[in-house]
Amino acid sequence: MQITPLNPEDPPSMGDFELLGRIGQGGMGQVFLGESLGGEPAAVKVIKPSVVDSESRQRFAQEIEVLKTIWGPRIAAFLGADAEAEQPWLATEYVDGPDLAKHVKAHGPLPSVLTAALGAVLAEALSAVHAQGLLHRDLKPANVLMGPNGPKIIDFGLAAFTESSVSLTAPHQVVGTPICMAPEQAAGVKPLTAAVDVYALGALLLFAVTGHYPHEAATPYMVFHLVTDPGTAPDLSGVPDELVPLLTGMLARDAAGRPSLTEVVQRCRSVIEAQGMKIAQARRRLTAHTAGQRHRESPADGLPTVAWPAPASDTPVTETSPA
């Protein structure tokens, strides 16, 4: 999606970031392309005035604290924020590239070796997040940007400290996106463990290599039913043989039966090496593959293109009670 001009009602700046155009929007607010005083590009998320209340500020403040805590080459870096402003805002590193969902829908599924490379990259990044005592809780294709230097994870708005006893949701309420949600998360089980991110990564990799999710239905509530139904297995149709054991394990209904993220990295390496390739080589091919296709579709005026909001089928369910 091409960056569009600011609307008359849009603020010209947020903090020290000048706003240059609109990137996209979500349920909570608008995302702008910004620029720091030193010329650093940024993605600036601004909460809509209509949804600014004490709870939304508290959640936004939690996202800010999470981003201050984590770092890494595969995490969109924190650049600045103000949760107490009249319009709360958050600035992160700008990644010039589409999200994985839009890339797959535009160009088709990734080859198995590139899917394995993506799995190794993201599993390693999530390991670093977990090492900080955090869970992402909303990993999905729309939250992985395929940038010119490789994939980066964004949107830690639902991230939670694994040992925290403080919850911003009421008992039996679920926050997240059902298409990539682990059964225990959809069922409202607390506390959640690192296994929920393993499941979500498995759902993401399934989409990357086939173009479909473990469970699909007409509405988010129907998806919730399929995810939590013990008699409904994930749909692994179209998965290449070499990835079936890995995705079967990652999408196991029992959280204890899923591999650790370290095991995921090792299994992805095995898939890559079985095809006569080294992991570093596969990672470079992944970046060249996604960046090359994006470059061929760049508009003639040279403006960057991005894909930020989740596609319609990726719509988050902000709060719902599981059946």
Active site residue ranges: 138
CA dist 131 → 124, 128, 243 (Å): 11, 5, 26
Measured CA to CA, the distance from residue 29 to residue 49 in angstroms comes to 8
CB proximity list for 172: less than 8 A, separation 6 or greater: 188, 321, 322
Measured CA to CA, the distance from residue 317 to residue 205 in angstroms comes to 21
DSSP 143: G
Contact yes or no for 214/203 (Cβ under 8 A): yes
Contact yes or no for 126/197 (Cβ under 8 A): yes
Radius of gyration of the chain measured on its C-alpha atoms: 19
Measured CA to CA, the distance from residue 28 to residue 83 in angstroms comes to 14
**Adjacent-strand bridge partners of 134:** 161
Contact yes or no for 188/322 (Cβ under 8 A): yes
DSSP 98: -
Q: Provide DSSP, 155-179.
A: --TT-EETT----SS-TT-EEE-GG
> Which residue in the block uniquely carries the two structure tokens 């473990």?
214
Distance from chain centroid for Cα 181? 12
Altogether, the residues listed in the chain come to a count of 323
